[in-house]
Structure formats: C-alpha cells, structure tokens
C-alpha cells in the first residue's frame, strides 16, 4: 500500500465530516443529533464534525420522511458529496415514515428510494449514542482502503 493510501486511511478514520439534512421531520431527531454535540456526548472527541456543506462531507445523515420539496434536493445534495461517501437514515421517519406514513400525509418515505442508504438507526427518535455508534462503526469499514478497492 502506498504512503498516500496509508495517509488517507488514517485521516479518513480520524476526521469524519458529517453533513446533516432534515427532509421534513418533527424536529425530534434533530434535537437528538444536536445532543450529540453537547458536552455529555461530545461528538467531536471522536473526530466527527457536523456541518451543512455537502462538498466537504464524508457521511450524509438523513432525517425526516422526505417532504415533496426534498425529493429532488436530497438527490442533488447526495450528488455533490465527493466519493467515498455514505448515507445513514436517522429515525423511523427516514426509514419508513413512522407515524406520518399515512395516505393523507404529504411525505414520501423511505430515503432509500432516493439515495443509497448504507445504515439505518431506528427509533422515534434514536438516542444520541446510537447515532454516534452508527457513524463510528460505518466509517472505518467504508473508507478503509477505498482507493485500492476502487482503482
Ligand atoms: S422518527 Fe420520530 S422523532 Fe424522528 S422525525 Fe420522525 S416522528 Fe420525529
């Protein structure tokens, strides 16, 4: 393995940039993601940085049941994230629509119908430690030796 690949492996697993989009949630899942940033969970101690810039992201967190105005935007955001990248559905709404998955609701879940979802964190809402665990367990598997596997 080249020095550059070894360097990229090391950096990617210690500095994970997470872009977070809310596609129409009740804000319950948003609050749990925000709680990950609080001193109690201290997400950044693991080298995970949350922001809203897809061009600098490695992981996309998707929350909410996909409101109509989000169907095209979610794909657009996904396409702006450079490879290697993964998406994680956070909460039951992004996975199945949860309580909003009714005939008269405007949402159109799941997120996996629009972009490839690599992991799901169920719950209404999921706990912050479950969200952190999903990011930390998925990132090394996806990013390790990515160049070598895709060359
Ligand atoms: S999964 Fe539950 S908490 Fe999360 S957005 Fe849906 S209804 Fe709200």
Confidence of residue 87 (pLDDT cuts 50, 70, 90): very high
β-strand pairing of 86-90 with 48-51: unpaired
Q: Give the per-residue pLDDT at 118.
A: 94
What the chain holds in terms of domains, given with CATH numbers, is 26-142 (3.40.50.12280)
Q: What is the pLDDT of residues 107-146, one digit of tens each?
A: 888 999 999 999 999 999 999 999 999 999 988 788 777 7
Q: Which two tokens stand for residue 60?
A: 């996309």
Residue 2's alpha-carbon distances to 19, 28, 129, 145, 148, in angstroms, are 29, 44, 35, 10, 10
Q: How far is the CA of 29 from the centre of ligand 1 (A)?
A: 6
Residue 104 scores a pLDDT above 80: no
Q: Which two tokens stand for residue 106?
A: 């405007």
CB under 6 Å to ligand 1: residues? Answer: 25-26, 28-29, 64, 91-93, 98-99, 124-125
Confidence of residue 1 (pLDDT cuts 50, 70, 90): low
Task: Write the burial class of residue 6 (CB in 10 Å: 0-12 exposed, 13-18 middle, 19+ buried).
Answer: exposed
DSSP state of 82: P
Which segments within the chain are labelled E, that is strand? 16-22, 48-51, 59-63, 86-90, 119-121
Q: Give the per-residue pLDDT at 108.
A: 82
Q: Considering only CA atoms, which residue is closest to atom 2 of ligand 1? A: 124
Confidence of residue 75 (pLDDT cuts 50, 70, 90): very high
Residue 41 scores a pLDDT above 80: yes
Q: Give the per-residue pLDDT at 101.
A: 76
Angle, helices 128-143/28-36, rounded to nearest 10 degrees: 70
Q: Which residues pair with 63 in a beta bridge?
A: 22, 90
Q: Who wins on pLDDT, 114 or 11?
A: 114
How far separated are the first and last CA of the chain, in Å rounded?
Answer: 12
Q: What is the pLDDT of residues 129-139, one digit of tens each?
A: 999 999 999 88
Q: How far is the CA of 99 from the centre of ligand 1 (A)?
A: 8
């Amino acid at each position: 393995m080249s020095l550059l690949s070894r360097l990229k492996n090391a950096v990617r697993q210690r500095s994970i940039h997470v872009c977070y989009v809310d596609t129409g949630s009740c804000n319950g899942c948003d609050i749990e993601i925000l709680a990950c940033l609080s001193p109690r969970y201290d997400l950044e101690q693991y080298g995970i940085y949350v922001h809203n810039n897809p061009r600098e992201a490695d992981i996309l967190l998707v929350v909410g049941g996909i409101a109509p105005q989000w169907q095209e935007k979610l794909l657009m955001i996904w396409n702006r994230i450079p490879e290697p990248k993964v998406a994680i559905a956070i909460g039951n709404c992004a996975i199945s629509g949860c309580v909003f998955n009714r005939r008269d609701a405007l949402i159109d879940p799941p997120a996996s119908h629009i972009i490839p979802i690599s992991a799901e964190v169920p719950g209404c809402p999921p706990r912050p430690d479950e969200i952190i665990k999903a990011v930390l367990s998925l990132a090394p598997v996806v990013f390790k030796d990515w160049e070598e596997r895709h060359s």
